């Protein structure tokens, strides 16, 4: 047996399962993962990404064609419209499910027949780096495992976490207002199962090592199907202990380390991404010491950037950016400003005041948005997320309401995201500039449906080919920005970043390539007024030749200034890498 690997694994397992024979458990896990006895560790601090990496986030059935499986349609749409723009595709849960648009999984090892087949998934994986969700915290109440839990037979008998209504659960952190414990009739009486998210999503019991072994087997099968990016859904809630907040517990962090250790020894190019929609300081802990997540979602970016653009004031965004530690080599951030979920409000804790949060909520409400709530330990309901399509979220300002700068504001938001340290991720409805889908909300009864529209391919292609449609304008402008970004070494996800101080209406930062041969000054007018930028304020090196990568404008007089229209951005570079 590979003693160094096994020794690391045993040490981690002993933190989680101190009462068990962790030597034997480690052998079970290594066998399940199919790791050979002489498996060598991967190179330390290896970046499995570069400046060309762009992620697309989509449901399997967002784009549809009559008489065709959606995964087939999606693959063709990607090839026809986005093959030159993206490197990775995150297909949101494509498994059989009972609720929550896929996040209540019934069978982890099957593809939803209405979407397509494993062969369709594998074809996409051959053309793009494929990300899939490991919905690891909970499983459908209609799954076979849960049916076995009710019948008290294996596999499943002890796979789900049980609670006691008499326990003190007041400290438990909740992302929802639904009951935490739900009574279930089983063949040996009534039991209370723990449901962090909904009655149909029953939390798994990782205190039972058989659950960990099951998931290691699932991970191996995903790897063998071509999946190399693993999004650990809701992983912060994985370990429960009554009397604690039941979030971010040490056992959870150790379980992530265990999964990373096994995954990276199996496939050195594989990546773990943790989905932890929590306040910024808590989120950062999931890097560990560069031994937990390779990548963490930058959850504070969406609400702070949207707040910046609707207020015309970048103070909070700039303060947050200055506080963000540079990611160690082998780790990085996933930058996004829209997703299949809403705009999280918890990540603004400690960053926006209650009054500022309420103003943002009121503004989004006036733009057609909705608000989802969570229940706090003292029984109060607090805003958890704002549900709104990004294009509509940026249709105006908090002060003046809707205006004629919507498209420019929308493009500005993405220009910021594309330039920041980390890997950019585009939700498909942002690339397509989809609008609020209020009809879908009414149909499903779920607020998150507002940003989960489904397109018929013919209609979508017509919109994208129509130069007068806002969909076409946004799509082609974003594709051009992506093409520029993917060629610039200074936009490597781990390249140096420093925040510029240019006042409250100009948000700026400097990126420098890892070889220090390219610098890009990224400056964004985040207001609806014209702004003047004195070039002396950004210290352009006089011996270099500078130009804006976006407009092509050359800078001849370094003592002069440049004028930025409302929501205009410039990427001032000393070395152009052409596209």
Listed as own residue / partner, the contacts of 350-358 with beta carbons closer than 8 Å and 24 or more positions apart are 350/279, 350/280, 350/281, 351/280, 351/300, 351/304, 351/316, 351/319, 351/320, 352/303, 352/304, 352/307, 352/316, 356/307, 356/316, 357/383
What is the SS3 assignment for 266-334?
A: HCCCCEEEECCCCCHHHHHHHHCCCCCCCEEECCCHHHHHHHHHHHCCCHHHHHHHHHCCCCCCCCEEE
Q: Is 253 annotated as a binding residue?
A: no
Q: Which helix (H) or strand (E) holds 549?
A: none
- Determine the Cα–Cα distance for residues 346 and 302; give it in Å rounded to an integer: 11
- Determine the Cα–Cα distance for residues 570 and 553; give it in Å rounded to an integer: 9
Q: Which of 53, 120, 203, 233 is catalytic?
A: 233
- Determine the Cα–Cα distance for residues 401 and 293; give it in Å rounded to an integer: 40
CA angle (269 as vertex; 219, 251 as ends), nearest 5: 50
CB 275 within 8 A of CB 234: yes
Q: Is 233 annotated as a binding residue?
A: yes
Report CA dihedral (37, 40, 42, 43) to the nearest 10 degrees.
160
Q: Is 269 annotated as a binding residue?
A: no
Which tokens hold the place of 573?
């570079």
Which tokens hold the place of 500?
């510029």
Which tokens hold the place of 376?
């706090």
Helix (H, G, I), strand (E, B) or coil at 525: strand
Q: What is the strand order of the sheet 162-163 is part of? A: 162-163, 189-194, 181-186
**Pairing state of beta strands 129-134 and 88-91?**
parallel
Neighbouring CB atoms inside 10 A of 464's CB total: 19
Q: Is 138 annotated as a binding residue?
A: yes
CA angle (369 as vertex; 366, 375 as ends), nearest 5: 115
Largest CA distance in the chain: 82
Q: CA-CA distances (angstroms) from residue 482 to 51, 115, 160, 168, 363?
A: 10, 29, 44, 51, 29
Q: Is 231 annotated as a binding residue?
A: yes
Q: Is 429 annotated as a binding residue?
A: no
Q: Is 232 annotated as a binding residue?
A: yes
Start-to-end CA span in the chain (Å): 49
- Determine the Cα–Cα distance for residues 360 and 354; give it in Å rounded to an integer: 10
Helix (H, G, I), strand (E, B) or coil at 183: strand
Whether 437 sits among the annotated catalytic residues: the reply is: no
Which residues are annotated binding-site positions for substrate? 100, 138, 231-233, 340-341, 448
Residues that are catalytic = 233
Which residues are annotated binding-site positions? 100, 138, 231-233, 340-341, 448
């Amino acid at each position: 047996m590979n003693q160094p690997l096994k020794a690391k694994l045993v040490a981690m397992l002993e933190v989680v399962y101190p009462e068990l024979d962790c030597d034997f458990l480690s052998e079970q896990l290594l066998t399940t993962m199919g790791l050979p006895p002489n498996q060598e560790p991967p190179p330390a601090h290896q970046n499995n990404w570069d400046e060309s990496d762009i992620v697309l986030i989509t449901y399997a059935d967002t784009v549809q064609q009559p008489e065709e499986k959606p995964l087939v349609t999606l693959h063709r749409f990607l090839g026809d419209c986005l093959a030159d723009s993206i490197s990775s595709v995150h297909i949101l849960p494509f498994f059989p499910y009972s609720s929550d648009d896929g996040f209540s999984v019934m069978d982890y090892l099957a593809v939803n027949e209405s979407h397509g087949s494993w062969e369709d998934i594998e074809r996409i994986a051959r053309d793009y780096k494929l990300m899939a969700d490991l919905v690891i915290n909970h499983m459908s109440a209609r799954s076979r495992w849960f049916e076995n839990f009710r019948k008290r037979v294996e596999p499943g008998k002890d796979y789900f976490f049980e609670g006691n209504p008499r326990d003190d659960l007041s400290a438990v952190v909740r992302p929802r207002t639904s009951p935490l414990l739900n009574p279930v009739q089983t063949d040996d009486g009534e039991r209370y199962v723990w449901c962090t998210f909904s009655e149909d999503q029953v939390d798994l019991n990782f205190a039972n090592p058989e659950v960990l072994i099951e998931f290691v087997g699932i991970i191996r099968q995903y790897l063998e199907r071509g999946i190399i990016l693993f999004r650990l859904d809701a992983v912060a809630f994985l370990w429960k202990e009554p009397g604690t907040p039941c979030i971010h517990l040490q056992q959870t962090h150790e379980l992530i380390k265990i999964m990373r250790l096994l995954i990276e020894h199996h496939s050195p190019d594989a990546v773990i991404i943790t989905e932890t929609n929590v306040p910024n300081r808590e989120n950062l802990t999931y890097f560990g010491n560069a031994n937990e997540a390779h990548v963490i979602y930058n959850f504070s970016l969406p609400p702070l950037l949207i707040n910046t653009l609707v207020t015309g004031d970048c103070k909070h965004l700039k303060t947050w950016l200055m506080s963000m530690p540079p990611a160690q080599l082998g780790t990085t951030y996933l930058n996004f400003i829209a997703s299949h979920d809403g705009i999280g409000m918890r990540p603004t804790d400690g960053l926006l005041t209650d009054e500022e949060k309420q103003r943002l909520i009121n503004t989004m409400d006036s733009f057609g948005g909705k608000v989802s709530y969570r229940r706090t330990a003292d029984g109060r309901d607090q805003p958890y997320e704002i549900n709104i399509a990004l294009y509509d979220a940026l249709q105006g300002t908090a002060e003046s309401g809707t205006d004629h700068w919507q498209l420019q504001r929308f493009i500005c938001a993405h220009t910021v995201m594309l330039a920041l340290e980390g890997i950019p991720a585009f939700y498909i409805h942002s690339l397509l500039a989809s609008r609020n889908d209020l009809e879908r909300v009414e149909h499903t009864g779920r607020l998150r449906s507002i940003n989960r529209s489904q397109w018929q391919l013919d209609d979508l292609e017509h919109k994208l080919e129509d130069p007068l449609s806002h969909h076409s304008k946004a799509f082609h402008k974003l594709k051009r920005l992506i093409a520029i970004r993917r060629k610039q070494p200074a936009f490597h996800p781990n390249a140096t970043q420093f925040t510029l101080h240019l006042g409250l209406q100009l948000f700026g930062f400097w990126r420098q390539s890892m070889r220090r041969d390219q610098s890009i000054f990224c400056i964004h007018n985040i207001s609806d007024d014209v702004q003047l930028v004195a070039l002396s304020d950004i210290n352009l090196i006089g011996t270099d030749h500078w130009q804006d990568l976006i407009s092509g404008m050359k800078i001849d007089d370094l003592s002069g200034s440049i004028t930025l229209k409302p929501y205009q951005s410039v990427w001032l570079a000393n070395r152009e890498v052409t596209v």
